[in-house]
Amino acid sequence: MIKWQHPLHKGGFIVSDQRRNLFFYYHPSHELDEKLTPLFQLASDNDFNVVNESKEANIIIAIGGDGTFLQAVRKTGFRQDCLYVGIRSHNEAGLYCDFDIDDHDEMIAAMKNAEVEVRRFPVIEATVNGESTYQCLNECSVRSTLIKSIVVDVHIDDLHFETFRGDGLVIATPTGSTAYNKSVNGAVVDPKLPCFQVSELASLNNNRYRTLGSSFILSGERTLKLDVRQDGNDHPVIGMDNEAFSIRNIRDVTIKLSDDVIKTVKMKHNTYWDRVKRTFL
């Protein structure tokens, strides 16, 4: 357990005197602006500095929903030397958002000396055509952009595992398992497990194309390689969290667990499974 130290307590583990720069990431709106003024005041009353450049921040706070949190992480480059905090702006139960914009008491408790924990979320990295590598916190999906299905040779390490034909595949991180992955019947995975899950989008199954037909979960030590069959009329698009990359001529995508993690702050009793329960049950 790590305590979020007050600056007077020397040797603060997470938030020392030197690491009190906050950057707020949000989509400005009239409603939000009204709620942010007291929040900024709260921060400065507790000896935090609000900075205008994310590069100067030690703590990056996303205000909105899970989509905003994903964007904040992506737009700031999956920083390893930062803590990310999610604050939900509506009465929702964002899986990445531990704090409620209206619950100032909870935020003060976290900023002062209440017990908070740092959670580390696994990230996957996808390398396209052996050239460019992108990180994803939710998932990477490879999908056909046409009504026509795509054909993909699926390799696990050196093994040719299956030949997939269908709309595409979704490769989700544990925290992404509650998002797109869940809507295609994938399992919800505990983020304490360093792994990633592969799920099918409308696979065709016949004597030529045979797939496992269920989602499967790979250890963080494995590498998944997707070879897109080039038939001249294949037009896959790659989705990385909430961004689409319509790279022309996607030949292959290699996916593995990244060495990087996303560090977030959570209140001690607000576990992932508490939030899964609140969101879905």
Residues 210-249: x where in contact with Mn ion by CB under 5 A, - otherwise, as a string:
-----------------x----------------------
- 278 SS3 class: helix
Residues that bind ligand NAP (CB under 6 A): 65-67, 70, 92, 94-95, 138-139, 175-176, 178-180, 183, 241-242
Instruction: Report, in Å, the least distance between residue 143 CB and ligand NAP.
Output: 9
Closer CB to ligand NAP, residue 12 or residue 168? 168
Cβ 155 to Mn ion shortest distance, Å: 6
- Determine, following the binding rule CB under 5 A, whether residue 153 of this chain makes contact with Mn ion: yes
Question: Is 183 annotated for ligand binding?
Answer: yes
Q: Is 66 a catalytic residue?
A: yes
d(CA 25, CA 36): 11
Quote the CA–CA distance of 265 and 14 in Å, as a whole number. Answer: 10
Element (H, E) at 38: helix 30-45
Closest by CA position to 235, among listed 145, 139, 108, 103: 145
What's the residue count for the chain?
281
Token match 């009239």: residue?
30
Least distance in Å: CB of 138 to ligand NAP? 4
Say which entry of Mn ion, ligand NAP, none residue 153 contacts (CB below 5 to 8 A, set by partner kind).
Answer: Mn ion
Q: Which residue is nearest to Mn ion (CB)?
A: 227
Nearer to ligand NAP, 21 or 175 (CB): 175
Contact 179, 240 (CB under 8 A): no
Active-site residue, selected from the candidate residues 33, 45, 66, 98: 66
Q: 170 and 180 in contact (C-beta within 8 Å)? A: yes
Beta bridge partners of 213: none
Closest among 70, 262, 272, 87 to 191, alpha carbons compared: 272
Radius of gyration of the chain (CA): 21
> Of Mn ion, ligand NAP, none, which one sits near residue 60, judging by CB under 5 to 8 A according to partner kind?
none
Q: Is 259 a known ligand-binding residue? A: no
* 227 contact, one of ligand NAP, Mn ion, none, CB 5-8 Å limit per kind: Mn ion
Give the residue among 176, 212, 169 at the shortest CA–CA distance from 193: 176
> What tokens does 31 get?
């409603």
Residue 13 or 280: the one with the smaller Cβ distance to ligand NAP is: 280
The answer to whether the CB of 221 falls within 8 A of the CB of 194 is no
Alpha-carbon distance of 19 to 213, in angstroms, equals 48
Minimum CB separation from ligand NAP for residue 224, in Å?
A: 18
Q: In terms of CB distance, is 98 or 139 closer to ligand NAP?
A: 139
Q: Do the annotations mark residue 205 as ligand-binding? A: no
Known binding residues for NAD(+) are: 66-67, 138-139, 165, 167, 178-183, 202
Q: Which residues form the interface with Mn ion (CB under 5 A)?
A: 153, 227
Residues known to be catalytic: 66
